[in-house]
Structure 1
């Protein structure tokens, strides 16, 4: 596998594959390469004015016109990558863009032009200080957003809202740490340090601010990752009907015949901007049918990956308590620790006979009764609070880094409250806290992790 330099001139199609009205080919390189390429590709007399659209024909080596469109030149450092960037906007046909890309590579080959790797334009923006790592990740999250709420939260992260919060609390940690390290250099002041600098109060304030940041990040993680909701229950209890009711369309077959659903059926919906992946499963019961047995096993496998399990019970069935307890026992053996299992009694519009121990909610998948309450309950179970104005997207690695930083803050609080605080240990815990925060922004992130993060981007971004 070839090893590329971050200084190589690069090019790629920046728009999505398929047909469209406009397609963009993007180049990023140093000033001299871009200026030379413009003359080689368009003619020796060409000179493009910065950030102006120039209408030009795009020709091949024989002078035959490939297409015609706009060329935009963004000189460094005021460009997406921080390098000089040239964008050619042609018609969005895949063949046209492929021919244009091939001709661009031919013209620039002698000067080292190569095809960009996935995410390499955004990686260069990060390496050149245009954005930090959390903002770079927000680019991919904005592209991949599946709900309006996730898109808005990703946009806030991209604009620097998440980074700003990290910097704000991090600066306070640095300031307190600097005071502690200064007093270590002048030990004669150590006796009065904790009281004179209000170190305990300041550290407590930082910790409370940090806890709010963690809460906001967890909310953002819900928006980004979404929630997997698995429906389980006896055959013909109404799982498919509930699936259709929540989805707002007939995505699952509904009949009076027990055992209609033999395999998983999935559909994604959005509640208050949160993406929920609904999984309808085969009814759980004792059976000798080989195909149905496979379906039941797949039901239990789906339970293992659930964020919430909805255990549906027929409210009109006199034996529902006994059957429900059998199913619940199987579910609890397979569900991950901490995953909520909600008992949902269906057909409550009929002659309900509910005799269940513990929390439950009643609905009618046929009439829609109780569905709004069920939706709100789902959001409550995952800890969602609808405060979009203060939400930004957070990834799992962000949450892990925040948890690690928080552990160091807790140790620092323990040290500062001792009768004779060990200032050297206190300063070290604050240093480690800052190091964990820097991991989020890419200030202390290893190169192999950077490569993994950007490799998941699409080519051209």
Structure 2
């Protein structure tokens, strides 16, 4: 990631733009003499010194606080100097450039994204899951996500993983001892209740995996696409869910020409709602481009809300739309504009509740000529119809609850820590290896060495989460996503 992991590094640690305070951070080995020369006085450890920031010619560039944190008791585990001055971009750049000029002799260079936190990981101040939690805390988009990110940073997730790893290591030690001394003819599985202990570890891992999946939803949210014919109320529904007018709504079909994306939160879960152009045949070049983009968004969706006008629930074009929806993506049929139904007319009966998915029949002979096929394959529909009014708000609470169910979120639940996709994959890999070990446990006379190997692989999968076994390439990917100065 960097030219050298021992070079002194420097960066502006506060966000770009104007602010009341700006922070410049320096980290490296043995910085005390350089920091004293830069500041013009000795710096007491972890003590705020108010002083002018002068350049080599004696000109005062700014004034503020200097704080020195000797390693290893610092964020990075190295000596760290922080200069806290005024938050104007120009003044921060002047101080930064002076520091770089005066630090040339010791090899001071600009830090790369995430390099301060990477050094904290390399110097064992944080494990990898905690280091990732630093970025998650900065990027948290809800109070629940921030709380869970803080729990991860404090080590709650890592403690769960370490406890699981320790139990697997203890079981491995017993297996390896048995393999090293086969002449003792120990019936390992029976004497040490290995199968029962393995079952207990697996049950604990299952609980951690469930919590991790909740944490993944809390961190990444759900990509929801509103699809349907023109003028069925997609933009009105987006505005209703967002609580503000983020999309233009008119009675004119084809008003929405391009996608509109809005993030909302339901019980702290981020939902990325995408309003798309109405799906229909058109000769309008601009609208056709919008429709092509709509199909592209539908292909990427995690959940599709297929909106229909409640007054025309059996429109053949809707059947044609459903036929082209991507296979395997949950689809909710949403009958909008319930408020416009004739009060004397019976409302369309909803399908049986539930989220089991069934094949949707193709278009009938009465269907219009097919639209350009987006190449998504035959669609799937969810065996559920929701009746709403985006204008009055009727049915929106039920819709929100259904979206949480599809996301796998338990209402009222909150993950004690955030998780990433790689964490979930590692836990799933460990679970698969434990399952294979359990199969081998039934044939200990023949494959005890395979039992031991599966335990080893499960242990390695868990250690990938905290970074005990991690490739340099993965570290580069993780830390390059951080902001500069952190």
Out of 210, 222, 227, the residue aligned to residue 222 of structure 2 is 227
Cα distance between partner residues in 2 of 1:39 and 1:370: 66
Cα offset, 1:320, TM superposition: 3.2
Cα offset, 1:188, TM superposition: 3.9
Per the alignment, do residues 190 and 362 of structure 1 end up closer, same or farther by CA in structure 2, a change over 3 Å counting?
farther
Q: Does 1:41 align with 2:38?
A: yes
| Residue number in structure 2 paired with 1:354 | 348
| Residue number in structure 1 paired with 2:9 | 10
SS in 1 for 2:322: helix
Q: Does 1:415 align with 2:440?
A: yes
Cα offset, 1:390, TM superposition: 3.8
Cα offset, 1:70, TM superposition: 0.5
Q: Does 1:121 align with 2:116?
A: yes
Q: Does 1:338 align with 2:334?
A: no
Which structure 1 segments of 5+ residues have no match? none
Question: How many matched pairs?
Answer: 451
Out of 297, 302, 316, the residue aligned to residue 302 of structure 1 is 297
Q: Under a length normalisation based on structure 1, what TM-score does the superposition of the two structures give?
A: 0.94
Cα shift readout 1:74-104 (whole Å, capped 9, x = no counterpart): 1111100001111110011111110001111
| Residue number in structure 2 paired with 1:287 | 282
Contact between 1:118 and 1:456, CA under 8 Å: does it hold in 2? yes
Within 5 A, what are the aligned runs for 1:71-150?
A: 71-150=66-145
Cα offset, 1:217, TM superposition: 1.0
Cα distance between partner residues in 2 of 1:283 and 1:425: 57
| Residue number in structure 1 paired with 2:453 | 428
SS in 2 for 1:422: helix
Cα distance between partner residues in 2 of 1:152 and 1:190: 52
Per the alignment, do residues 421 and 393 of structure 1 end up closer, same or farther by CA in structure 2, a change over 3 Å counting?
farther
Deviates more, 1:290-299 or 1:99-108: 290-299
Cα offset, 1:144, TM superposition: 1.4
Cα shift readout 1:21-53 (whole Å, capped 9, x = no counterpart): 11111111123xx2211232122xx21111111
Cα offset, 1:248, TM superposition: 0.3
Per the alignment, do residues 130 and 320 of structure 1 end up closer, same or farther by CA in structure 2, a change over 3 Å counting?
same
Cα distance between partner residues in 2 of 1:39 and 1:289: 69
Q: Does 1:212 align with 2:168?
A: no
| Residue number in structure 2 paired with 1:370 | 395
Within 5 A, what are the aligned runs for 1:152-191?
A: 152-191=147-186
Cα distance between partner residues in 1 of 2:144 and 2:199: 32
Contact between 2:2 and 2:112, CA under 8 Å: does it hold in 1? no
Contact between 2:307 and 2:333, CA under 8 Å: does it hold in 1? yes
| Residue number in structure 1 paired with 2:20 | 21
Alignment RMSD, CA only? 1.7
Cα distance between partner residues in 2 of 1:388 and 1:110: 55
Contact between 1:314 and 1:320, CA under 8 Å: does it hold in 2? no
SS in 2 for 1:313: strand
SS in 2 for 1:73: strand
Out of 392, 417, 420, the residue aligned to residue 395 of structure 1 is 420
Cα offset, 1:389, TM superposition: 4.9
Cα offset, 1:148, TM superposition: 1.8
Q: Under a length normalisation based on structure 2, what TM-score does the superposition of the two structures give?
A: 0.90
Cα offset, 1:386, TM superposition: 4.2
Cα offset, 1:226, TM superposition: 1.4
| Residue number in structure 1 paired with 2:317 | 323
Deviates more, 1:225-234 or 1:185-194: 185-194
Cα distance between partner residues in 1 of 2:444 and 2:315: 58
SS in 2 for 1:90: strand
SS in 1 for 2:53: strand
Out of 254, 273, 280, the residue aligned to residue 278 of structure 1 is 273
Cα distance between partner residues in 2 of 1:113 and 1:69: 22
SS in 2 for 1:420: helix
Cα distance between partner residues in 2 of 1:339 and 1:153: 28
| Residue number in structure 1 paired with 2:408 | 383
| Residue number in structure 1 paired with 2:378 | none
Deviates more, 1:320-329 or 1:216-225: 320-329
Q: Does 1:196 align with 2:195?
A: no
Cα distance between partner residues in 2 of 1:345 and 1:421: 60
Cα distance between partner residues in 2 of 1:276 and 1:127: 35
Contact between 1:247 and 1:268, CA under 8 Å: does it hold in 2? yes
| Residue number in structure 1 paired with 2:61 | 66
Whose helix proportion is higher, 1 or 2?
1
| Residue number in structure 2 paired with 1:242 | 237
Cα distance between partner residues in 2 of 1:460 and 1:449: 20
Cα shift readout 1:156-176 (whole Å, capped 9, x = no counterpart): 111111111111111111100
Cα offset, 1:316, TM superposition: 1.3
Cα distance between partner residues in 1 of 2:77 and 2:236: 53
